[in-house]
Structure 1
Amino acid sequence: MIQNPHPNRDALNAFCSDDDTHLPGGDGPLSGLTFASKDIFDVAGHITTGGNPAWKATHAPAEANAWVVQQLVDAGAELAGKTITDELTRGIFGENVHYGTPVNPRARDGCPAGLPAGGSVRVPASFCGLYGLRPTHGRIPRTGMMLQAPSYDTIGWFARDAETFGQVGKVLLASSGSPGVPLHLIIAEDAFELAESDTRSALMAAVEEIGSLFDSVTTVRLSLTSLTDWSNQQQVLQSREAWESVREWIDRVNPAFSFEVSDRYVLARSVTDEQVAAAQLRREEIVARMNEVFQGGEKVVCLPTTISPAPPTGQAVSQRHELRLRNSAITSIAGNTGRPQISLPLVEVGGLPVGLSLLGDRGADEALISLASRVAGQG
């Protein structure tokens, strides 16, 4: 969501240059606000490109607006256009070889980040200094959305301030009444250990500041093995689902992908049924472990959103591989368990933003948004 959009919408190379999507706003709780939609959401009369020219060339215009787009427009917000996405959402750093890389407004030489199911909403929120929520899985209808990995895919949103973020949340979550606020803060020790040392120090200072909002603060190791093991398990299931989502189209069209995306599909194609079965059992163990962590209710888990601020654009593929693995170890916690996670733009490291996340129990989306408002008010 953008409160004061730049008069030149291409100043950051964020919008799809070959698409003139626009839907006017009107009366409603979001009147006066504008928003941009990632190019995986349908807008009637326009082709959903998914960041790949071959996809655009082989698909017809959408017949109806995606549910989430329609909700925002019905609430009075204006759709300014569609934004560039990683190819079929299979990237994580936001670079697109076909359409270019949007400029990160808070880190001009840094990646803006993409929106894969594994790091959806939270990674770009961290890199760009925004509020961003990955909702409880299934909380927001995905009608009219290009799916990648259905058991992980969800829909989130961004805003530069907590107030606007909360307004949008009331519309998309159909919230009513005042949500309960978690009373107990749990610091995920093993998640913080994955962060770069300067990032960890800055985030822990922020944790100390917000600790006064809770009745108690404790430290826990989430994984009884390692969080990398959790992300490895997710990689198996997400890869299989991503391959099944597009395998027929790839076999028929033989599209051109970037090396990174091609590599991920080659790996996905090689996943065996035995690996999937083992990963599914492991996922059940992870869910059980996180159920233990949240047992008793009124709890929220604190963790880094990413291991560091945005890396520079144009890094070698080998460097990106290591960064992806370490970030995925953190983001897989919410993905594997379907829990909501909100990233708060509270910290800068070397002048660049990096997010602090709060992870709630399933259905605690409104509570996390309320916490974000309280933290913002505290500052």
Structure 2
Amino acid sequence: MVRSWLPPPSSDHQQQLPLHTLTFAIKEIFDVVIRVTGFGTPDWARTHAPGAAMTPAVLAALAAGAGVGKTMMDEMAYSINGENAHYGTPSNPCAPRIPSGSSSGSAAAVAASLTDFAGTDSCGSVRVPAAYCGIFGLYPSHGLVSTQMFKTRLMVFFLTRWFARDLATLSCVTDVLMPPLRRPHLRRPSHVIIPADYLKILGSMEDRTYEILNASAAKVFGNDTVVNNGNIGDFVSSNVPSIGKFMTDLSAVEASSSCVPSLSAISRVMRVLQWSEFKTNHAEWVNIVKPNLGPGIRERV
């Protein structure tokens, strides 16, 4: 689950650093100097040289006093189950189920108290593993944290994100990786839409989930900014005209399901972009190396 550790930097002021008591696990997708970034598959590690520089987010954590190690992941970050045919699947300490991915090792390591917080990336690599492993995850907006030095180069979706077992640690890490002084352009929202149309697919949990989200948003942003019974589908349709074709194509399918058309359309757009970027970035390597990929990813590639 946790493969190797690098010590925090030595310093006369070590104890004054904000993360000096914490350990930090990073997914095997972040570059670390002098070490090969394995990308979740042996053939990638075999055919790539050690990193020449550190990922900025890793440097920030080290500079703040945290010790850092690497964790397992889905092969080439191209799955969401957290399983790996080459290195094994990390155990989920929260429940007898898969840890989910592609940041399976990072989420499982945090949940098992093997590390205090963990860095991750990718499309669903915070939301899904955090839910499966019973921990907290933060998903910042694009551009707030550097995405340099990622092996995947899928820059449309990839962000630096992080897990922690408690909100105090999550907040402390956030202040290091996304300092308040670097957020001058962030503004208080004029309105917050609670996606009532999306929540209906949760079935019996809909009312309770909506109640919690509504109360939380009102507490943070004020009652006057919260739009009750918001319809994200209409918002997406009116603000993203290009999604209309996908919604039309899916209309027949949606007629026989409980899914929200706009949600399915956005999901389909994401998958098309993900497939296209994966091919652009990795097709040459796949065709030359012909890697031994595990089940599932082999078929997708």
TM-score, length-normalised on structure 2? Answer: 0.75
1:129: Cα distance to partner?
1.9
How far residue 24 of structure 1 moved from its aligned partner, in angstroms, is: 2.2
5+ unaligned residues in a row in structure 1: which ranges?
1-13, 266-379
Inter-CA distance 180–167: structure 2 relative to 1 (3 Å threshold):
farther
Counterpart in 2 of 1:35?
24
Is the contact made by 1:117 and 1:148 (CA closer than 8 Å) also made in structure 2? no
Match of 1:24 in 2: 8
Deviation at 1:144, TM superposition (A): 2.2
Is 2:95 the partner of 1:88? no
Give the length in aligned residue pairs. 247
Residues 102 and 207 of structure 1: CA distance in aligned 2, closer, same or farther (over 3 Å):
same
1:100-149 Cα offsets, whole Å, 9 max, x none, are 11112212334343247331322112222222122222221122221242
1:204 equivalent in alignment to 2:210: yes
User: Does 1:142 find its partner at 2:142?
Assistant: no
Residue among 61, 75, 88 paired with 1:100: 88
Q: CA deviation at 1:58?
A: 0.6
Report the alpha carbon displacement of residue 257 of structure 1 after superposing the two structures with TM. 1.3
One-letter amino acid matched to 1:15: V
Aligned-residue Cα RMSD (Å) equals 2.3
Residue 220 in structure 1 maps to residue 220 in structure 2? no
Q: What are the residue-to-residue correspondences of 1:342-357 with 2, within 5 Å?
A: none
- Return the match for 1:77 from 66, 71, 88: 66
CA contact (8 A) 1:114 1:120 kept: yes
In 2: Cα distance, 1:100 partner to 1:122 partner: 22
Describe the SS at the equivalent of 1:50. Answer: coil
Query: Could you tell me whether the CA contact under 8 Å between 1:184 and 1:215 is conserved in 2?
Result: no
1:295-340 CA-to-partner distances (Å, cap 9, x unmatched) read xxxxxxxxxxxxxxxxxxxxxxxxxxxxxxxxxxxxxxxxxxxxxx
* Percent identity of equivalent pairs: 33
- The answer on whether the counterparts of 2:85 and 2:295 sit within 8 Å (CA) in structure 1 is no
| Correspondence for 2:102 | 114
- Secondary structure of 1:35's counterpart equals strand
CA distance in 1, matches of 2:187, 2:153: 33
RCO comparison, higher one (Cα < 8 Å, 6+): 1
TM-score, with structure 1 as normaliser: 0.60
1:338 alignment counterpart: none
CA contact (8 A) 1:47 1:62 kept: yes
Separation in 2 of the partners of 1:238 and 1:215?
37
- Distance change in 2, residues 1:208/1:174 (3 Å): closer
Q: Structure 2: how far apart are the matches of 1:39 and 1:170?
A: 24
Shift of 1:202: 4.7
In 2, are the aligned partners of 1:89 and 1:148 still within 8 Å (CA)? no
Unaligned ranges ≥5, structure 2: 104-120, 238-246, 248-260
**SS of the residue aligned with 1:186?**
strand
Aligned to 2:278, the other structure's residue is in SS state helix
Whole-Å separation in 1 of the counterparts to 2:62 and 2:211: 39
Quick check: which one's helix share is greater? 2
DSSP 3-state at the match of 1:36 = strand
Q: 1:122 to 1:259 in 2, by over 3 A?
A: same
Alignment counterpart, residue 2 of structure 2, candidates 12, 15, 40: 15
Give the AA of the match of 2:229: T
1:335-346 alignment runs, 5 A limit: none
Cα contact 2:85–2:294 (8 A) shared by 1:
yes
Does residue 169 (structure 1) correspond to residue 174 (structure 2)? The answer is yes
1:187 and 2:194 are equivalent in the alignment: yes
Q: Please give the secondary structure, in 2, of the residue aligned with 1:187.
A: strand
